[in-house]
Chain A
Amino acid sequence: MSGSVEKVAVIRDTYTRFNASERANHWVVAVCAILLMLSGLAFFHPAFYWLTALFGGGQAARVLHPWIGVVMAISFTGMGVRMFCQNIWNADDSKWLGRIGDVIANRDENLPEVGRFNAAQKLVFYVMFWSVITLLLSGLALWHQYFGDLVPIGMQRFAGLLHAVTAAAMIITMIIHIYAAIWNAGSTRAMTRGSVTGGWLWRHHRKYLREEVAKSK
C-alpha cells in the first residue's frame, strides 16, 4: 500500500438534450419506421418475404403497413414542427460538411463549432422530411384496398417505383443515423434518457453549449 487514495467527486454537469415529449415523439416515429421498413422490405424483395411472419402473415402485413404509415406521417409532422427551425442550413454547416473527412476521422478539433444539430443531422432531417411526404403520397396511391379504383393506373405504377426508391433512400439514411448514434458515444442516452454531459456538448455541439451556459448565467 503506497499512500492514501484521494477520492475526488467529479462534477459532471448534465444538460437536457431532448425533453420527454421530444423523446416520446422520436420513438413513436422510430418504431413506426422500423415496422414499416420490416414489412416494406418483405413486399420489396423476396429474400425478405419471411418478415411478414412478424406481422401475422402476408395478408396481415399488407393490411398493417399503410396504417402504420399513417401513424408515422402524423407523428413525424410533430417532429417536423418541433425541429424545423433548428434544422435551417447555415454557412457553418457548409463548412462542416466540407470537412467531412475530419468528421469521419474523429478529428473534431478541425471542425467549426456546431449548434443544436450538425450538418449531417440536418441532412437526415431533410431526407426524412421529404421521404415522409413522398412515401405518404405514393403510399396512398398504392393503397389498393381503398384507392385502387380511384387512382389512374399510370400514376399507380409510378407511385410503386417512387415509393420503393424513396424507401430505399430512407432506409439507407436510417442506417447512417443509427450508426452515427453508436459511433458518437453518449448520443443514444440523449434520445433515451434525455440528458448529456457538458463535455459531450463541448465536443459535439459547442455553440449550443455556449448558448445554454449563457442562458443559465
Chain B
Amino acid sequence: MASLQSLDVRQRSASTAQPPSVRRDLEIAKLIDVSKCIGCKACQSACMAWNDIRPPVGINRGVYDNPNDLGPETWTVMRFAEHEENGKLEWLIRKDGCMHCTDPGCLKACPAPGAIVQYANGIVDFVQENCIGCGYCVKGCPFNIPRISKADNRAYKCTLCSDRVAVGQSPACAKCCPTGAIVFGSKASMVDHAQGRIADLKSRGYAKAGLYDPPGVGGTHVMYVLHHADRPGLYANLANNPVISAAVSLWKGTLKPLSMIGMGAAIVVGLLHFVTRGPNEVTEADEENARKLKGRNAA
C-alpha cells in the first residue's frame, strides 16, 4: 500500500531519507468506547473477513477470550476482565489490537527499510514483503502487539484497514460494530466525540471516566473511552503509561551514532598512525641479536 498517493508516508523503518511531505494529510483515529462494548466479537469476524485471515481453531481456556491471544492471523481480540466496584460486578471488555502510536516503538526498532511505515494520516502499517522476521518490532512495541508468523517469518498486526481508509472507507470493525462502540473519523473529531461520551459517563457516576490517548507514545490513533481511566490496568492489563522501553531507545537511538563514531575513529586513527609513524619493521640488527642468542653466525 505504501506507494499510493492517497497514503503519504510520514516515517519509514530503517530509512533516513525525508519522506514526501508537501501534502498535509488529515490525521485519523478510531475510538473504542469500552463502556458501550457488549463483547459480541462482530469486529473480530469483520477483521477476519475483510483481511482474509483465519487463525487455527484453538482451545477454550475457560474465559470468553477467543482466540486467547493476538496472532499472525488474529489482529484484534476481545479481552474480557471481571472487576468488582461498589459491590457490583463490571464486565470490562476491551478490544485489543495495534494502537497506531504517533511514536511507534515497532517502527523505531525495525531494521528492515520499509518493513514498517507510518502514513501521514497516522496509520502504522507492516509491509510484509520487506519484513525479515527478526522480531525487533516485538521488542519495540509497548503494547505487545506484533506477532511473527511461523509459516512465513513475517510480522503481522492490525492495519487499521489502511486499504479501506485509503479509499475513504472506515475500518471493517468500525463498520460492523452493532452498538456503535467503535467509531472512526479524524483524530480531532474523535477526541471531541469522546468528550461527550465521558461527560455522559460522569453523569452516570463514573467520576474517573476518561479518554485513553497515552502521551508517552505521542498519543495513539486508536483510542479508548474508559469508565475507569485512572486505572487502565483493570482492562486486561492495558498499560498505565506506555513508553518505548529505555533499552530500545538507547539501542536504536544514542548507540547508533556513538558506535559509528567509535568504529570510524578506530579506522582513522589507525590510518593516521600508519602514515605518521609507519610500520614497526624488523631490522637486520634484530636478526643479528637473535642469531647471537642462538650462538650462530650470520654466514
Consensus secondary structure, chain A interface: helix
Residues of B within 8 A of A156 (CB): 135, 138-139
Counting contact residues on chain A (CB < 8 A from B), the size range is: 35 or more
Residue pair A61, B132 in contact (C-beta under 8 Å):
yes
Bound form: Cα–Cα A179–B250 in Å: 29
- Chain B residues within 8 Å of A176, by CB: 266, 270
Name the one of B153, B250, B258, B291 contacting A13, with C-beta atoms under 8 angstroms. Answer: B291
Q: Are B263 and A175 in contact (CB under 8 A)?
A: yes
Give the residue of B153, B280, B297 whose beta carbon is less than 8 angstroms from that of A185: B280
**Min C-beta distance of A42 to chain B, whole Å:** 7
* Given A164-B255, A199-B282: A144 and B138 interface contact (C-beta under 8 Å): yes
Determine if A9 and B299 form an interchain contact, defined as CB atoms under 8 angstroms apart: yes
Q: Does B260 contact A (CB under 8 A)?
A: yes
Q: Smallest CB-CB separation from A105: which chain B residue?
A: B277
Cα distance A58–B134 in the bound complex, in angstroms: 9
Instruction: For B16, list chain A residues within 8 Å (CB).
Output: 46-47
Contact with B along A1-41 (1 / 0, CB 8 A): 00000001111110000000000000000000000000000
B50 proximal to A (CB < 8 A): no
> Chain B's interface: helix, strand, loop or mixed, by majority?
helix
How far is the CB of A26 from the nearest CB of chain B, in Å? 20
Number of B residues near A (Cβ < 8 Å) is 55
Question: Using Cβ atoms and an 8 Å threshold, which residues of chain A touch B294?
Answer: 13, 198, 213, 216
A209 vs B255: C-alpha distance in the bound complex, in angstroms? 43
Q: Is B201 an interface residue (CB 8 A)?
A: no
Within 8 A of B (CB), among A161-217: 161, 164-165, 168, 171-172, 175-176, 179, 182-186, 197-204, 209-210, 213, 216
B260 (CB) vs chain A CBs: closest residue: A45
CB distance from B76 to the nearest CB of A (A): 20
Contacts of A49 in B (CB 8 A): 14, 111-113
A161 to B136, CA, bound (A): 11
Q: In the complex, which residues of chain A have a beta carbon less than 8 angstroms from the beta carbon of B263?
A: 168, 171-172, 175
Tell me the minimal C-beta distance from A169 to chain B in angstroms.
8
Point out the residues of chain B lying under 8 angstroms from A183, CB to CB: 270, 273-274, 279-280
B262 within 8 A of A: yes
List residues of A whose CB falls within 8 A of some B CB: 8-13, 42-47, 49, 52, 58-59, 61-62, 104-106, 108, 142, 144-145, 148, 153-154, 156-158, 160-161, 164-165, 168, 171-172, 175-176, 179, 182-186, 197-204, 209-210, 213, 216
A-B contact pairs, 23 of them (CB 8 A): A10-B287, A11-B298, A45-B260, A46-B14, A47-B260, A49-B111, A52-B132, A59-B133, A144-B133, A156-B135, A157-B139, A158-B247, A161-B248, A164-B251, A175-B263, A176-B266, A182-B270, A185-B280, A197-B282, A198-B287, A198-B294, A199-B289, A210-B293
List 20 other contacts, CB 8 Å, given A184-B279, A202-B282.
A11-B299, A13-B291, A13-B296, A44-B259, A45-B260, A58-B130, A142-B135, A144-B133, A144-B138, A157-B245, A160-B109, A160-B136, A161-B255, A168-B259, A175-B263, A197-B287, A198-B287, A198-B293, A199-B284, A213-B294
